[in-house]
Amino acid sequence: MKRTIRRLNKALEDPAYKQGWITNIAMAHIDAEDQYKAKTGKKYLNRSDRYLIANEAAENFLNILKG
């Protein structure tokens, strides 16, 4: 696992590759927020909502990563 993390950190030194990761993480969050708002009908989110969305976004990102 440590080797994998070291290799990823090395790869993230490439600005274009790093931007790809940033974009995918950000989009996972945006998608999760949009889905949450559609599911709940909420226009405005409170702290509790944001925690739920953050966890859903993290799960979405990991699913994207798995392929």
Q: What domain count does the chain have?
A: 1
10-63 confidence digits (pLDDT tens): 999 999 999 999 999 999 999 999 999 999 999 999 999 999 999 999 998 998
Structural domain boundaries enclosing 7: 2-66
Buried b (16+ CB within 10 A) or exposed e, 3-32: eeeeeeeeeeeeeeeeeeeeeebeebbebb
Look up the pTM and report it.
0.79
CA 65/CA 26 separation, integer angstroms: 13
66 confidence band (pLDDT: 50, 70, 90): confident
